[in-house]
Amino acid sequence: MLAFPSPTSRVGLITGGFLALCLLSPLTQAEGDNAMESAAEARVITLINPNSNDAATESMVELARLETQGVATVVGRSNRDAPPLLTTPQDMIDAVPGVVEIGVEAAEDERVAAIIVSAFSDPGLEELRAAVDTPVFGIGEEVFHEAARGDRAFGIVTVTPDEALIESFRQKAASLGYEHLYRGVRVTPGDPTELVQSPEALDAALAEAVQASIDEDGAQAVIMGGGPLSASALRLQPRFEVPLVVAVNAAARAAVATLQGE
């Protein structure tokens, strides 16, 4: 004769099973979180700052990490052979060897899955791509792609007044097929090296330039033209309805999309 558990026993079994599931679920979730963390720790994205400003490097790394959580760890490298701010075309040219050297060294590490060149003019981007097999992303190139998404008209705001550099922005827009959407550059007044030392002064100057790009140039998105301006863009975004496109974040998102598509 088959023996069935009593009602009291059945309640105990059900309760015990429920408790087991409750105990198991957090463990399973924790195991999943640990697996994601391990996967992220196993892959590295090297962010190269083509200038020598370590504070700017760390700031850009923190921005990139907002986009790469659970996918990869971001490690920053500064270019010791460059000035703390690149303001002229010659500065960009002079930064190229250091960018390539850092990138080639990073690519030798099998954990490095992608490299980001984190200056708006992308110094050394093409040279580094030619030198390594690791995917390389330039924050300038990627921010143009993101700003122009959906055929949006876009402008650029920067602290760098050099005319040749500003012309290079137009040339980049044209080379990427976005010249018909490009609405020009607004430059903040004053010495850019001094301006970037004060977050309050930088925010105020950039806010005026952004407003001019929207009101006078017809920009539907505004690119913040330079890696060191990224944190300021995040602070200013609540003041504006149009997107302030942050170059570092755009490049990090592109890198993540590539890694997830592998």
Assign 2 a pLDDT band (cuts: 50, 70, 90). Answer: very low
Q: What is the mean pLDDT of residues 1-7?
A: 49
Tens digit of each residue's pLDDT (9 = 90 or more) over 125-148: 999 999 999 999 999 899 999 999
Biggest alpha carbon distance in the chain? 96
Strand partners, 223: 156, 245
Which residue has tokens 């690119």?
A: 223
With 70 as the cut, is the pLDDT of residue 98 above it? Answer: yes
**For residue 252, which of 133, 143, 131 has the smallest C-alpha distance?**
143
Which residue has tokens 């122009």?
A: 148
Burial of 83 (C-beta count, 10 Å sphere; 0-12/13-18/19+): middle
Tens digit of each residue's pLDDT (9 = 90 or more) over 15-41: 454 444 444 555 555 454 554 455 566
Which pLDDT score is estimated for 72? Answer: 97
Asked if 248 and 64 count as a contact pair (C-beta separation under 8 A), the reply is: yes
Which pLDDT score is estimated for 35? Answer: 47
Q: CA 235, 197, 47, 150 torsion: positive or negative?
A: positive
Tens digit of each residue's pLDDT (9 = 90 or more) over 195-239: 988 999 999 999 999 999 999 999 999 999 876 788 899 899 999
Which pLDDT score is estimated for 26? Answer: 54
With 90 as the cut, is the pLDDT of residue 13 above it? Answer: no
Which pLDDT score is estimated for 40? Answer: 61
Assign 190 a pLDDT band (cuts: 50, 70, 90). Answer: confident
Residue 111 is classified by DSSP as T
Asked if 70 and 33 count as a contact pair (C-beta separation under 8 A), the reply is: no
Average confidence score pLDDT of the chain: 87
Tens digit of each residue's pLDDT (9 = 90 or more) over 30-80: 454 554 455 566 899 999 999 999 988 998 999 999 999 999 999 999 999
